[in-house]
Amino acid sequence: AQSVAQPEDQVNVAEGNPLTVKCTYSVSGNPYLFWYVQYPNRGLQFLLKYITGDNLVKGSYGFEAEFNKSQTSFHLKKPSALVSDSALYFCAVRDSGTYKYIFGTGTRLKVLA
């Protein structure tokens, strides 16, 4: 079965420091991986996705993600965190058989001023 794991419930980082939100996946076949962000009382907003090609994917708001096939990881990164980046982040993979999107449990990012 396809799955994603977000090992950290919460990540704290100081403003201006680089941030990383971790995601690992388990799929059969080629992975289609996504990152979303959710601000309070809002729906999820798409940040970026990996389909194929370059292992470093660039997305919205200065975020990027690194796809690592050998480690089955798709970590979200940003070189310099902003307080406004504080939100809930979800990693997702699309099941190649059923087409379902499978979401991780979410990681709460807190950027401290």
Residues that bind other proteins (CB under 8 A): 32, 34, 36, 41-46, 49, 51, 90, 92, 94, 96, 98-103, 105-106
Cβ at position 41, least distance to other proteins in Å: 7
Please identify, using beta-carbon distances, which residue of 81 and 93 lies nearer to other proteins: 93
Please identify, using beta-carbon distances, which residue of 89 and 111 lies nearer to other proteins: 89
The amino acid occupying position 31 is: P
Cβ at position 81, least distance to other proteins in Å: 24
As a whole number of angstroms, the distance between CA 32 and CA 71 comes to 15
**What is the length of the chain?**
113
Please identify, using beta-carbon distances, which residue of 35 and 78 lies nearer to other proteins: 35
Gap between the terminal Cα atoms of the chain: 41
Cβ at position 95, least distance to other proteins in Å: 8
Please identify, using beta-carbon distances, which residue of 65 and 106 lies nearer to other proteins: 106
As a whole number of angstroms, the distance between CA 42 and CA 74 comes to 24
CA-derived radius of gyration, the chain = 13
Structure tokens at 83: 């307080």
